[in-house]
Structure 1
Amino acid sequence: MARKRLRFAAVAVICLIVGAAVGFWAHRPRDDAGAGPLSTVDIGFAQDMSVHHEQAVLLARTLPADAGPQIRGVAERIVLAQTAEIAQLRGWLQLFDLPLSTDQPMHWMGHEHGGHGAPMPGLASTAEITQLAGLHSTAAEVVFLQLMIRHHRGGVAMAQTAFNTGSAPAVTRAALEMVNEQGNEIGEMTALLTARQGQPLPFP
């Protein structure tokens, strides 16, 4: 029953965010129409962060059912928040008939941020996700927290760059919210990991 309520809440939040995104852009002054409503950074961030978020949702849903309620609660909050943000980011892209993904990920971050074909920061490998799926109880909790902390650190790096170099106000606002939200979750998950005698994974 709780899962059904969570799914219903997620759908409701997504609908509200997509509607808000469409409403914002539909009524936005077009005095910058010559340059386009979204910059290269805005577009790249929306495309790549959508993909990055998809893996966070996958990690949260891969967490085994016998994980403790505290960790399951963290995972469910991440699914809810990041599913809604995916809808927001892709809503902007769809509004301007832009592709939802790119064959040149991370170009928008630039050389100094590891862009131009570099892998997205913080992503888990297929082997790591498979490992998580095969674990149980506390062992699964530790690996989940390790992977998600590293994933969030990558997401914060991407969102911080978008906030600093993006041009569309709605995009930079969303990026700042992600920095704050995921930064808070990193703190929470680090405390949970320490309580389980775990250590965060290295993050370049």
Structure 2
Amino acid sequence: MSASRWSGALRIAAAASVAVLILAIGAVAGAAWQQSRHSDSDAPSTVDVGFAQDMSTHHDQAILMSRTVSGLPGVGAEIRVLADRMVLTQSTETATLRGWLQWWGEPLTSDTPMSWMGHTDHGSHGHAASQEHSGPATDQPPMPGLASVDELGRLSTLTGRAAEIYFLQLMIRHHRGGQEMARDAFNDDRASTATQQWALTMIGDQGNEIGQMTLMLKARNAEPLPT
């Protein structure tokens, strides 16, 4: 898949998740971030902006997958409850992150995903993203853990136990990618206190969900996707 196709797919997902919620909490989220600053002269760093853009976009796909599996025939209540909870928690986090961006006057999405990361050799995601407009096409997702368009399409065609297993496999990989991004933000000295706090919370919450989903997979005699 070309990088331009990835960019278009991510923008469609982002547009679908913004809606009225962002407008409702934007000022509140922005004011909360401002209160976390060390001084009035502090401004959002490249890491603050990039993390908010990329993590909210990353969450968009988790929300999409969760909503997809909830609507598939034969999917059990256990998976539906998990998916519905993910929609709620990740929608709230996305609204906060995009509230910050709105407060700062920054775009809700980035043309160069992962370019904020503090080192260049990070699963090649930052490098691949930087070639979006100038380099060759790539099949690699622009952020760690993202499902491809083909994988999303396959999920939408499944039913029952097969849908449950594939959703869990995709979401475990997705959460691991999100943890990778959050760890990088947490460990970056350029990140604000608010960004580091949100990143640390995401690392813990998604770690707990990975453990829960791994147990669900084992109960269905299945294993996570290879990393």
Question: Does the TM-score normalized on the shorter chain lie above 0.5?
Answer: yes
Match of 2:162 among 132, 139, 161: 139
Counterpart CA distance in 2 for 1:57 and 1:29 is 30
Q: CA distance change for structure 1 residues 95 and 198 in 2, over 3 Å: closer, same or farther?
A: same
TM-aligned CA deviation for residue 167 of structure 1: 2.1
Q: Tell me the residue number matched to 1:201.
A: 225
Q: Tell me the residue number matched to 2:127.
A: 116
1:43 maps to 2:54: no
Q: 1:42-191 maps to which residues of 2 (within 5 A)?
A: 42-63=48-69, 64-109=72-117, 110-113=119-122, 114=124, 115-118=126-129, 119-165=142-188, 166-191=190-215
TM-aligned CA deviation for residue 25 of structure 1: 3.4
Asked if the contact 2:26–2:95 (Cα under 8 Å) also holds between the matched residues in 1, the reply is yes
Normalised TM-score (structure 1) = 0.85
CA RMSD of the aligned region, Å? Answer: 2.2
TM-aligned CA deviation for residue 21 of structure 1: 1.8
Q: CA distance change for structure 1 residues 202 and 32 in 2, over 3 Å: closer, same or farther?
A: farther
Asked if the contact 2:183–2:200 (Cα under 8 Å) also holds between the matched residues in 1, the reply is yes
Q: CA distance change for structure 1 residues 88 and 29 in 2, over 3 Å: closer, same or farther?
A: closer
Q: Which runs of 5+ in 1 are unaligned?
A: 1-10
Of all paired residues, the percent bearing the same amino acid is 52
Counterpart CA distance in 2 for 1:67 and 1:97 is 41
Q: Which runs of 5+ in 2 are unaligned?
A: 1-18, 130-141
TM-aligned CA deviation for residue 41 of structure 1: 1.1
Q: CA distance change for structure 1 residues 32 and 134 in 2, over 3 Å: closer, same or farther?
A: same
Structure 1 window deviating more from structure 2 (173-182 vs 13-22): it is 13-22
